[in-house]
Amino acid sequence: MPAQVSVIGIGGVPEVQPGNDLAALVTEAATRQRTPLASGDVLVVSQKVVSKAEGRVVDLKSVTPSPFALEVARTWQKDPRHVEVVLREARRIVRMDQGIIITETHHGFRCANSGVDASNVPGEETVTLLPVHPDASAEAIRRGVRQLAAVDVAVIVSDTFGRPWREGAVNVAIGVAGLEPLVDYRGRLDTCGKRLQTTVIAVADELAAAAELVTGKLEKVPAALVRGYTFRPSPGGVGPLLREPSRDLFR
Amino acid sequence: MPAQVSVIGIGGVPEVQPGNDLAALVTEAATRQRTPLASGDVLVVSQKVVSKAEGRVVDLKSVTPSPFALEVARTWQKDPRHVEVVLREARRIVRMDQGIIITETHHGFRCANSGVDASNVPGEETVTLLPVHPDASAEAIRRGVRQLAAVDVAVIVSDTFGRPWREGAVNVAIGVAGLEPLVDYRGRLDTCGKRLQTTVIAVADELAAAAELVTGKLEKVPAALVRGYTFRPSPGGVGPLLREPSRDLFR
């Protein structure tokens, strides 16, 4: 019998406030809905609630845009305070065209608007920023779950990123704890006995994408667990997923 | 109770030959392993077996490389016959650097090597090409399953593509039948009652990615079914997933 994986949304999590213990909120919500976390599960938690718990929330009313932010905003009919926050979260502009700002964040993620986002945040003028250290966020949740429920889960913090070439965004991993984010098949034998040359699979991104199928955008389902997937344990870390500049043909 | 989705690998499919009825092979394999296909399932089938069934297989011994293919191959220590096949499957080169050839295929996919691939194909010198019309391939499987098993499934033909910026490949949809590949949240209200501005999710790609978690690369599991995911029925077609050149900042 081939592998079978279940992806289970975790709902009933109250609106997350700065300082909340996310590990506890998610562990309790999973137990309440009678799908308690179990060792070997991959717990995928959306960036939005991680950022809220860590206070990575900005009221645009408090932001003074720079001259450059004002100019960019004027050119593309954007909110200059929003542009200012996007620029502050970036270390480099990848592209700025057609009203789209794609940056490289301080973490090294390449994404629209440095991951700054207003959806699913209370307050008309409030945005979230990505967590400062998403791997540490993932590790803290992993440790918290272990302490609370005595189970050993891997944790992925996920966000919704657009991609070049293809329409539609997909969820990807921005923080990883407890699993190897890449599976490297190079040198292994395929079903025909030939040695695989190049295949490296970003399983952490595939797990994040699978989780989005049950979390969606309109329901209050900020987390999902993936059960039955055999991952390779590792301290984790999202670093291996981020292409080195020297290997990046789309700088 | 939030959504729950199961992803079930379909194994025990014999080595696929040109002319094989893939709908029958997959339907029978699913039944044999006691997870028969059911209406509402999304059936994800790997490009490799679709290409084999459609005879999209090339023996490199039959290929005469052009002068340009010879030059490219010499520069990057590649097999000139492989380069020739890659060029024939392309309508444009997106990037050619560091030994990597990223093309736009005749279908409009942007991917490495025009999707030409030697893994999991019998024969030392044999490669597969992408199906000529992957949407038609998906639709044919969907129709075949309906006729054989009287169930109505959506079908995704998936392949493993690399991405800019991030290491590791992920499975994406290259052919779609029976479901809307994008879910458009624009104008809908988020959990805080704010109108979502930009969120369009490529669910067909997320479904393909989820399927890869159970198909892998080393087992003979060329298909997976995703059960419990509520999709929006539609004739399908992968077109909406392919960004128009005018909107593509990474041509």
Which residues in chain B have their CB less than 8 angstroms from residue A10's CB? 2
According to DSSP, residue B44 is labeled: E
Query: Which chain A residue has its CA at the smallest distance from B124's CA?
Result: A194
For chain B, the domain total comes to 2
Whether B213 and B155 map to the same domain: the answer is yes
B167 min Cα distance to partner chain A (Å)? 5
Which residues in chain B have their CB less than 8 angstroms from residue A168's CB? 181-182, 200-203, 205, 240-241
Which residues in chain B have their CB less than 8 angstroms from residue A119's CB? 190, 194, 196-197, 199
CATH number at residue B122: 3.90.1660.10
The span from the CA of B25 to the CA of B15, in Å, is 10
Whether B49 and B119 map to the same domain: the answer is no
A27: exposed, middle or buried (Cβ count in 10 Å: 0-12, 13-18, 19+): buried
According to DSSP, residue B213 is labeled: H
Residue A52: which domain range? 6-56+131-245
Q: Using pLDDT thresholds of 50, 70 and 90, give the confidence band for residue A119.
A: confident
Whether A225 and A210 map to the same domain: the answer is yes
- Interface confidence (ipTM) of the complex: 0.96
Most confident of the ranges A142-146, A185-189, B191-195 = A142-146
CATH number at residue B230: 3.30.1330.100
**Domain-embedded: residue A1:** no
Whether B28 and B107 map to the same domain: the answer is no
pLDDT of residue A217: 72
Whether B13 and B136 map to the same domain: the answer is yes
B178 min Cα distance to partner chain A (Å)? 17
**Domain-embedded: residue A108:** yes
* pLDDT mean over A45-51: 96
Test mutation, A44, A170, A197, chain B, max B CBs within 10 A: A170
What's the pTM value of the predicted model, to 2 decimals? 0.96
Whether B173 and B218 map to the same domain: the answer is yes
**Which residue matches tokens 């440790």?**
A143
Which residues in chain B have their CB less than 8 angstroms from residue A166's CB? 172, 202, 205, 241-243
Whether A240 and A161 map to the same domain: the answer is yes
Strand boundaries in chain B, DSSP class E? 4-10, 42-46, 57-59, 90-97, 100-105, 110-112, 126-128, 154-161, 170-179, 183-184, 200-201, 223-227, 233-236
B6 min Cα distance to partner chain A (Å)? 4
Contact partners, residue A218, CB within 8 Å, separation at least 6: B185, B188, B189, B190, B191
Nearest to A217 among B33, B163, B190 (CB): B190
Least confident of A6-15, A96-105, A114-123: A114-123
Q: Using pLDDT thresholds of 50, 70 and 90, give the confidence band for residue A121.
A: confident
pLDDT tens-digit profile, chain B (251 residues): 778 999 999 999 999 999 999 999 999 999 999 999 999 999 999 999 999 999 999 999 999 999 999 999 999 999 999 999 999 999 999 999 999 999 999 999 999 999 999 887 887 899 999 999 999 999 999 999 999 999 999 999 999 999 999 999 999 999 999 999 999 888 788 777 777 776 899 999 999 999 999 997 767 899 999 999 999 999 989 999 999 999 999 98
Whether B83 and B193 map to the same domain: the answer is no
Boundary residue ending a domain (A91, A110, A127): A127
